[in-house]
Structure 1
Amino acid sequence: MDAILRATGVELLYGTQRAVCAVNFALSAGEVCAVMGGSGSGKSSLLYCLAGVLAPTCGEVSFDGVPFQQLGDDELSALRRERFGFVFQYGELLPDLTVEENAALPLRLAGRRKSQAHEEAGEILGRLGLAELRQRRTSQISGGQSQRVAVARALVHRPAVVFADEPTGALDSANADAVLEEFLALARSQGTAVMMVTHDAAVAARADSRYTMADGVLARRVAV
C-alpha cells in the first residue's frame, strides 16, 4: 500500500545534540504504527517532525506526496488542523469548556456551524461511552474520561493521521487498556492511520507495525 506519510533521511538537532538520526519511515493509510523507546530516545521528537510541528534539521517529511518544505506556514497549519489529529499523554483539554465543546473544537476551527459540530461531537462521544457527560466541564471528570474526550477530539473530524504521544501513559492499567482499545477500534473503523510513541510494550503490541528507537536511531521490529 502506498505511504500517506513519509520521512526520508530526517535528522533533528537540538544545538549539537542529535535527537533524530537519519530516519526513513513510511505510514500507510489506515495503518497503526507504534514506536517504542525510553525517555530521551528521540521518539517524541520524531513524532513532532512527522506531524509538522518541528522542522527537521535535514531530510524531508511529506504527506500525500507533498513535502512539508513546499508548504507555507498557513498551509502547514491548515494541514495539521484539518488532516491530522493529536492525542497527548495528559489530554491537554481546555478546562473552561465542556466535554462536548472540547470534542467539537476541530470542527469549529474548520468552520462548521456550532449546532452541527456539537451534533457530530455528541455522536463520537456516545461511541466512547461519554454521552451523559457532554455538558460537564472537563475539570469535573476522571483521568480515563478525560483521555476518552481527547480521543474524541482527535478523531471527530475524521483525520487522515492521528499522532499519539504516550496516549495511555498517565492512566492506570485498567483505564489504559480500555482507552487504547476504544481509540484504536474507532480509528480503524474510520480508516484513520495512527502513529503513536510509547514506552509500554503492551501498547505497542496492539499496532500493525512496531519500531524501536534508541539514541535517535529508528529500527523496525519484526514479529516472530
Structure 2
Amino acid sequence: MQVFSETSEVLAARDVALHYGATPAVKGVSLAVRRGEVVAVTGQSGSGKSSLLYCLAGVLPVSEGEVWFEGNVLGELDDEELSALRRERFGFVFQYGELLPELTVEENAALPLRLAGQRKGEALALAGDVLRRLGLDSVRDRRPAQVSGGQSQRVAVARALIHRPAVVFADEPTGSLDSANANTVLEEFLLLAKAQGTAVVLVTHDPTVAARADARYVMTDGMLCPEGAS
C-alpha cells in the first residue's frame, strides 16, 4: 500500500467513489493536493463537487477508494480521531459563513483555538490579530447579525485559518456575495492562506473564482478532469 509523501502531497484521493444508495455521486476520482496549493473544482449543480469536497474532508465516508491525509487513510480513523483531525488540522468556509449568532465576531474567529483548549485571553488576542489583517478590527465586538455579508464571510475566513490548518475546504465561499465583495473576500482569503502555507480546496460555479487557483478541475456527472482536458 502506497504512503503519500508529506513533503509534496498533503492530501490525496485515489479512485474515490461515493454512492447515495444506488445513485453514484462521485465516480473513481483521483486527486493530489500539495502543501500551500489552491485547488478549484468547478461544475454544474448536482455534478458531485460538494460531495467530493466532503469526502476529502472526512465528513462523508467514501464508498470505494481511499483518501489520504499526511500519511493516514481517513477511512481507517475512528470517529474521535476524525473529529480531532477536522478540528485541529482542517478549516472550513461555507457559502453563508455559518457563524454562531450568540458569539461576537472576535469570539467566532477564536472558536477553533478555544475548542483546542487554548486560554480565552490568548485565543481572543490571536483572533484580534487575524481580524485586523482582514480589515475587521472595527467590528470585532459585534454579533454576526450586526455586520454585512462581506464582513461575515471574512470572519468565516478568519475562523477557518486562525489555527493554521494544513487544509481549508471551501464550499462556494463567495457564492452569497456580490462581485465586489466576492473579489475582496477571495483576495484576502487566498493571501492569508498562502502566507501561512495552508492548502485550499474550493468548489465553485464561478469561473473567476476558479481562475485564482493553482490547479483547476471540472466535475461532470461525478467524474473529475483537469480543466481543458478533453
- Mark yes or no: TM-score above 0.5: yes
* Distance of 2:18 and 2:76 partners within structure 1: 19
1:119 is the counterpart of 2:151: no
1:206 corresponds, among 208, 212, 218, to: 212
- How far is the alpha carbon of 1:146 from its aligned partner? 0.2
1:8 is the counterpart of 2:8: no
2:224 corresponds, among 187, 201, 218, to: 218
* Distance of 1:11 and 1:106 partners within structure 2: 30
* Distance of 1:218 and 1:9 partners within structure 2: 11
- How far is the alpha carbon of 1:199 from its aligned partner? 0.3
- How far is the alpha carbon of 1:149 from its aligned partner? 0.2
2:173 corresponds, among 147, 167, 170, to: 167
- How far is the alpha carbon of 1:137 from its aligned partner? 0.5
Residues 110-161 of structure 1: CA deviation (Å, up to 9, x unaligned): 0000000000000000000000111001111000000000000000000000
2:153 corresponds, among 132, 143, 147, to: 147
* Distance of 2:98 and 2:188 partners within structure 1: 19
* Distance of 1:17 and 1:59 partners within structure 2: 17
1:98 corresponds, among 104, 111, 123, to: 104
* Distance of 2:92 and 2:160 partners within structure 1: 5
CA contact (8 A) 1:210 1:222 kept: no
Moved more, 27-36 or 66-75: 66-75
1:186 is the counterpart of 2:192: yes
Q: 2:3 matched to which residue of 1?
A: none
Aligned amino acid, residue 224 of structure 2 = L
- How far is the alpha carbon of 1:69 from its aligned partner? 1.8
TM superposition score normalised by structure 2: 0.96
Residues 32-67 of structure 1: CA deviation (Å, up to 9, x unaligned): 000001100000000000000000111100100110
- How far is the alpha carbon of 1:16 from its aligned partner? 1.0
* Distance of 2:168 and 2:32 partners within structure 1: 14
- How far is the alpha carbon of 1:2 from its aligned partner? 1.7
TM superposition score normalised by structure 1: 0.98
Q: 2:28 matched to which residue of 1?
A: 22
* Distance of 1:64 and 1:222 partners within structure 2: 29
* Distance of 1:172 and 1:96 partners within structure 2: 26
1:38 is the counterpart of 2:40: no
Q: Which runs of 5+ in 1 are unaligned?
A: none
The ranges of structure 1 where at least 4 consecutive aligned residues each deviate by more than 3 angstroms after the TM superposition are none
Q: Which runs of 5+ in 2 are unaligned?
A: 1-6
Q: 2:67 matched to which residue of 1?
A: 61
* Distance of 2:84 and 2:175 partners within structure 1: 28
* Distance of 2:71 and 2:163 partners within structure 1: 22
Aligned amino acid, residue 13 of structure 1 = H
SS in 1 for 2:212: coil
CA RMSD of aligned residues (A): 1.0
SS in 2 for 1:86: strand
- How far is the alpha carbon of 1:222 from its aligned partner? 5.0
